[in-house]
Amino acid sequence: MASGYDVTAQARLPFYQHINTSVSVEQYFGDSVDLFHSGTGYHNPVAVSVGLNYTPVPLVTVTAKHKQGESGVSQNDVGLKLNYRFGVPLKQQLAADEVAVSRSLRGSRYDSPERDNLPVVEYRQRKTLSVYLATPPWDLQPGETVQLKLQIRSLHGIKSLSWQGDTQALSLTSPIEANSTDGWTVIMPRWSSEAGASNRWHLSLVVEDKTGQRVSSNEIALALTEPLVRVPAEGVSWQHLP
């Protein structure tokens, strides 16, 4: 069920109570909401409805409604509603003069709450493509070859893999089959002692399946471990042993 709201205003002619008009605005929230009950989902759809009801006698009401969506989709509905009231003589419910009485405040006590009996549904699309990059080791050394581990689940097969990020700096190497999930490697660059150098590189992957659907993976970071530098202690002298 989709969540949302609707606001409805009704009006009728005081000198002719048989005709009733209504205007309503409704909005629901979700990524795939079927506002028109057609099987097609829309993102946070909004619709405006204009209705006209004709009640010749209290027992019968003919309804007509036009709904217009912001995406250009529209819907027309025509219906027939029976308003049978228990405890009220049938002769009185078939009298045209009783329509004005039923529209009064006293007569409206028999009215039932008006609601849309068709629920607005939000569809949840089945995930058919996903990709995940495993976290690389933390203690990487300059010149070290790192094997990238990919986890791809595709219902419709893989069309292409596209890497994003510091691919050149990491000397990204592909396997023989470019669409394979195994055999992708990088070579860690040399340590840089320059000011502002992070010695940290990032990679992510975009996968496209054979239906044209594309998804992006998580981003991984490959960082070098700072090399140890030996500094001679003060006062230490070197001499040759005899």
pLDDT value, residue 242: 44
The Cα–Cα gap between 194 and 183 comes to: 33
Residues 141 and 52 in one domain: no
In eight-state DSSP terms, residue 224 is B
- Domain-ending residue, one of 102, 122, 142: 122
**205 found inside a domain:** yes
Q: Which domain holds residue 75?
A: 3-122
* Helix or strand run (H / E) with residue 103: helix 98-103
**242 found inside a domain:** no
- Domain-ending residue, one of 101, 122, 143: 122
Residues 92 and 142 in one domain: no
Domain count, the chain: 2
The Cα–Cα gap between 48 and 27 comes to: 9
Residues 78 and 183 in one domain: no
**143 found inside a domain:** yes
Q: What is the CATH number of the domain that holds 31?
A: 2.40.160.160
pLDDT value, residue 205: 95
Tell me which residue has tokens 């300059």.
142
**239 found inside a domain:** no
**229 found inside a domain:** no
The Cα–Cα gap between 203 and 169 comes to: 11
pLDDT value, residue 241: 46
- Domain-ending residue, one of 100, 122, 144: 122
pTM assigned to the model:
0.46
Residues 117 and 135 in one domain: no
Residues 42 and 96 in one domain: yes
Residues 115 and 143 in one domain: no
Residues 110 and 135 in one domain: no
Q: Which residues of the chain have pLDDT under 70?
A: 1-2, 38-39, 104-126, 229-242
Residues 12 and 99 in one domain: yes
pLDDT value, residue 240: 45
Question: What's the chain's length in residues?
Answer: 242
Residues 195 and 140 in one domain: yes
Q: What is the CATH number of the domain that holds 172?
A: 2.60.40.10
Residues 158 and 219 in one domain: yes
Residues 67 and 104 in one domain: yes
Residues 7 and 73 in one domain: yes
pLDDT value, residue 114: 64
- Helix, strand, coil % over all residues of the chain, rounded to 5: 5, 45, 50
pLDDT value, residue 33: 79
